[in-house]
Structure 1
Amino acid sequence: MPLLVVGYDRHPAAQSALRTAAELADRLRARLLVLHVVDLEDYPIDPDAADWEAWAERAVSAERASAEALLAAHRLPWSFQVDHGEPGRRLLELAARHDALMIVIGVVRHEWGAHLLTGSVAKQLTRHTDRPVLLVPEQHPL
């Protein structure tokens, strides 16, 4: 069964990417592997907070619940994976390891051109992969 790897976080562009990937997976009879790479937004602002790690665990749980809610309308196999490190590299490694058909990520429309010029995840993916990368704009109509 084909696999689509989807980058996911709390931003609207990532939610658009997940919805689009689910639609594609339905049509292709594929499964989804949803990847959330933990970053500083998953932690509290105060690094000395007593509940630093618990905060991150709650944030990641919220990301998974959000993905689950978005995928509830689809009857397709999917899994959620959490990783640490650089998002582009993690997406590339995961896609290669599972021989993914495609990588799907969201991009913010007003920042799209600037990110492509300055070193975004999208730029890294399109330069360093041998498989298709689908860039889904925020609020992408289905």
Structure 2
Amino acid sequence: MVPAPIIQTILYATDLGKNARAVFRLAVSMARHYDARLLILNVVEPLGTTGSTIIANYLSGETAEKINRDAAHDILHHMKERLARYSKEEMDAFGLDWAPPTDILVATGIPSEVILQIAKRYEADMIVVGTSSRSFLGSAMMGSTARRVSRHSTIPVLVVPITEE
């Protein structure tokens, strides 16, 4: 007989998009079910080459680098506050008598890669992600981040489909 998985830490990765509430509620339900810690992660993609080039054309290298560094710090701080507010509002809306221990994390990089790195660093036992409403062909299918995470993860990944709220 195969033993039931031991789930102590669940990583919920969100872009706070259209499907965020449904995915968050499922992640909280899973954390409650397993009496697990919940990590809430948002990954901010770095400024692309076009944006960096535009800034570099108008400012010296040192000034452009400082602006990029300061802006990245401000964005990460703002997102962490936004996630904390979102988490509190959603937990309050649940009307729970018990909420899972929760950590708010914000990082920069390629979302799928960062999600997998954070899962490993925090020894997550499960990843919960939502699908995206955007796709290359314009149809609703699994988003590229969810697809990459599920393909490369060494732990279970729960991919939550888009729902109408």
Q: Same fold (TM over 0.5)?
A: yes
Aligned 1:80-95 pairs, distance under 5 A: 80-95=104-119
More strand by share: 1
Corresponding residue pairs, total:
132
Structure 2 unaligned residues grouped into runs of 5+: 1-6, 47-54, 59-66, 134-138
Structure 1 unaligned residues grouped into runs of 5+: 41-46
User: Which protein shows a greater Rg?
Assistant: 2
Q: TM-score, normalised by structure 1?
A: 0.75
| Root mean square deviation, CA, Å | 2.9
1:61 aligns with 2:81: yes
Residue number among 1, 11, 30 corresponding to 1:5 in the alignment: 11
Query: Counterpart in 2 of 1:111?
Result: 140
Aligned partner of 2:140: which letter?
Answer: E
1:13 Cα deviation after fit: 1.5
Distance in 1 (alpha carbons) for counterparts of 2:23 and 2:118: 17
The answer as to whether partners of 1:38 and 1:60 remain within 8 angstroms in 2 is no
Aligned partner of 2:38: which letter?
Answer: L
3-state SS of 2:29 partner: helix
Residue number among 136, 141, 147 corresponding to 1:123 in the alignment: 147
The answer as to whether partners of 1:25 and 1:76 remain within 8 angstroms in 2 is yes
Query: Counterpart in 2 of 1:137?
Result: 161
The answer as to whether partners of 1:9 and 1:36 remain within 8 angstroms in 2 is yes
Query: Counterpart in 2 of 1:44?
Result: none
1:59 Cα deviation after fit: 4.6
Residue number among 19, 25, 39 corresponding to 1:19 in the alignment: 25
1:81 Cα deviation after fit: 0.5
Aligned partner of 2:23: which letter?
Answer: A
Query: Counterpart in 2 of 1:43?
Result: none
Q: Name the CA shift for 1:76/1:38 in 2 (closer, same or farther; >3 Å).
A: same
The answer as to whether partners of 1:16 and 1:137 remain within 8 angstroms in 2 is no
Aligned partner of 1:96: which letter?
Answer: K
Query: Counterpart in 2 of 1:28?
Result: 34
1:66 Cα deviation after fit: 1.1
Identity %: 26
